[in-house]
Amino acid sequence: MDSANNNAAAGKNAAALEKPESQLRQMWDSLKSNKGAMVGLVIILLLVLIAVFGKLLMPFDPNSLDMSASFIHPNGEHWFGTDQLGRDIFSRIIDGAHISLTVGLSAVAISLTIGTLLGAAAGYRGGKTDTIIMRIMDMMLAIPSILLAIAFMAALGKGIDKAVIAIGLVSIPEYARIVRGSILSVKENDYVQAAKVVGNKGPRIVFKHIMPNVLSSIVVRATLGISTAVLDTSALGFLGLGVQPPYAEWGDMLGRARGFIFSAPYTLIFPGVAITITVLAFNLLGDGLRDALDPKARKR
């Protein structure tokens, strides 16, 4: 019990102690050994580079109209063809990268943060807190999400930043429900009770003992959420509430091209592929992150 005893015991065994690797280092090692996650990470880095330095890569002005050059099939000059207004699709996809990435990530960030906090409060506190929060979430879910987003935009005003906020707010209930459900099941574990017994306070129990154990479902949902956010933005853009023409945005390109699905499928395919690759990359990275964060799945 006395500290002299402690120190003696510690000193004796100090030599035998294996050098502890930092948690971050272990996670990075695990992530590195996961091929899928590394592919995802490389794609995401490329996308970020494209979003930042895209202006230098574009063969054509993405917004210049040339009606005489509309619907040109993909060829050596126009790699991805041109759209109904004669704009080069390759250039537009590069131009749209930064808007689409920003929209996807920031909308998810908004709904993830607020949804997680609300879900955590509802799941952990239970009782009246739970009822009040979850009934509000149910009300939001009862209204079609696009309609709700339009309502938010009516209140916030036009513009891409407002569209992101509206989409972020609309998908809060999904995150709240997932987090609440996971917390309800994890909360029953003895280690949560043990944390209470040794004197932990509520917030620390939630963030230190419960949250890490519900992370996997949140990560998976969030990576999928990026694609929904991109597509929802396009829907708003289609209604004239999101990205304003002529600016390129992948979802918006997809939405406007849907009339030409049979006559000029390439106008639809390439923006769709861009969205798919982005979502896939985030998904792969998300899966890898989930495994890297779980000591049990982590390879040693």
Between 142 and 197, CB nearer to other proteins: 197
CA–CA separation, 131 vs 211, rounded Å? 21
- C-beta of 55 vs 208, nearer to other proteins: 208
CB contact at 8 A, 253 and 231: no
Shortest distance, position 210 Cβ to other proteins, whole Å: 9
With beta carbons less than 8 A apart as the criterion, state whether 182 and 214 touch: yes
Q: Give CA–CA dist 114/209, Å, rounded.
A: 20
The distance of closest approach from Cβ of residue 6 to other proteins in the complex, given in angstroms and rounded to an integer, is: 5
Radius of gyration from C-alpha coordinates of the chain: 24
Q: How far is the CB of 300 from other proteins (least distance, A)?
A: 9
> 80 and 93 in contact (C-beta within 8 Å)?
yes
Q: What is the DSSP letter of 243?
A: S
Residue 192 Cβ, how far from other proteins at the closest point, in Å?
A: 8
Q: How far is the CB of 292 from other proteins (least distance, A)?
A: 12
Report d(CA 40, CA 286) in Å as an integer: 9
Looking at the Cβ atoms of 3 and 263, the one nearer to other proteins is 3
Distance in angstroms (rounded) separating the CA atoms of residues 47 and 150: 29
Residue numbers at the binding site for other proteins (CB under 8 A): 1, 3, 5-7, 9-10, 13, 16-18, 20-21, 189-191, 193-201, 204, 209, 212-213, 293-296
| 20 vs 76 by CB, closer to other proteins | 20
CA 108 to CA 167: how far, in whole Å?
9
- The nearer residue to other proteins, 8 or 261, going by C-beta atoms, is 8
Q: Which two tokens stand for residue 282?
A: 């985030």
